[in-house]
Amino acid sequence: MSTYGMGIDIGGSSIKGALVDIENGCVYGEVHVIPTPSEAPAEVVGETVAQLVELCGATEDMPIGIGFPAPVVRGRIPSMANLSPTWVGMDVAEFFTNCVSRPVSVLNDADAAGIAQFSYSHIDSHEQVIVFLTLGTGIGSAIFYDGKLFPNTELGHIHLSSKIQNAEKWAAPSIRTRDNLSLEEWTQRIQLYLSRVEDLFNPDSFILGGGISEHFDTFSKWLTTGATLLPAALRNHAGIVGAARYAYDARA
């Protein structure tokens, strides 16, 4: 079997795809990015995924993994926050398999990014609780204990106060853009969010991924947590790499 796979990361603002060298977690060739269609109906997203598979030149023997911005429970979507509600109840693994005419593995996008982190960063996770967060259109989460994933957590939707009923609708990087917040002003919101997650789960480490992680060295100086605070090792490519690795392992 080829030691390459293809990863696709479906987000609220863009859909990204690339080939991945499974042995070292490196993206091979160009990362193709297509804006997420308005309201992201299934049929149009499916066409976009098929287009990315063709653009990347994925061969028939390459496993294809897709990180999806919702819980994926036994292949189906139980709830949806940032794409069309018509996805709810759909068997997305079957849907995307039909779109590209070959088997596809689908998992939650934050879980995919977390898998990349643990597969390629050599992090010491022995008997540790680690919360991996993807910060983008929304806030995705993946929780690991002793290196093992607890899948489909949705910590982006926790309540922060009586006035803030859904954390990602107040603290996601997309809200920073919408409300024209400075990086420091937005970081104050993330501080409140991290403090709430820390109160609930007492993690040993937070790992921050997503597009905003490219600026980690700038905004992290305004954050204070009892847990160790780290940027995602693969930054904004983590979702692509983790999806490819997940599909490769599923086929092995």
What is the model's pLDDT at position 1? 56
Handedness of CA 168, 146, 241, 220 (dihedral sign): positive
Question: Is 118 part of a structural domain of the chain?
Answer: no
- Rg over alpha carbons for the chain, rounded to the nearest Å, is 17
Total residue count of the chain as it appears in this document: 252
d(CA 234, CA 199): 27
Q: Which residue range forms the structural domain that includes residue 39?
A: 4-112+238-251
For residues 138 and 93, state if they share a domain. no
Question: Is 119 part of a structural domain of the chain?
Answer: no
For residues 225 and 242, state if they share a domain. no
d(CA 138, CA 135): 6
User: Minimum mean pLDDT among 69-73, 139-143, 146-150, 210-214: which range?
Assistant: 210-214
For residues 37 and 102, state if they share a domain. yes
Question: Is 206 part of a structural domain of the chain?
Answer: yes
For residues 11 and 98, state if they share a domain. yes
- Identify the residue with better confidence: 74 or 1: 74
For residues 61 and 16, state if they share a domain. yes
Q: Is 239 exposed, middle or buried (0-12, 13-18, 19+ CB in 10 A)?
A: buried
For residues 209 and 144, state if they share a domain. yes
Question: Is 181 part of a structural domain of the chain?
Answer: yes
Q: Is the pLDDT of residue 65 over 70?
A: yes
For residues 177 and 106, state if they share a domain. no
Q: Is the pLDDT of residue 116 over 70?
A: yes
- Contact call for residues 201 and 143 (beta carbons, < 8 A): yes
> How far from 183 is each of 90, 157, 173, 236, CA to CA, in Å?
37, 22, 9, 18
pLDDT digits (tens, 9 = 90+) for 20-48: 999 999 999 999 999 998 878 899 999 99
d(CA 143, CA 141): 7
Q: pTM surpassing 0.85?
A: yes
Number of domains in the chain: 2
For residues 141 and 227, state if they share a domain. yes
For residues 95 and 159, state if they share a domain. no
Question: Is 117 part of a structural domain of the chain?
Answer: no
For residues 90 and 138, state if they share a domain. no
Enclosing H/E stretch for 176:
helix 173-178
pLDDT tier for residue 190 given thresholds of 50, 70 and 90: very high
Mean pLDDT of the chain: 94
For residues 137 and 158, state if they share a domain. yes
Written as six digits, the tokens of 232 are 């995602």
Helix 238-251, helix 109-120: angle, nearest 10: 80
Q: What backbone torsions phi and psi does residue 41 show, to the nearest 5 degrees?
A: -65, 150
Here the CATH number for the domain that contains residue 12 is 3.30.420.40
For residues 79 and 129, state if they share a domain. no
Q: Which of 38-47, 130-139, 227-236 has the highest mean pLDDT?
A: 130-139
pLDDT digits (tens, 9 = 90+) for 151-177: 999 999 999 999 999 999 999 999 999
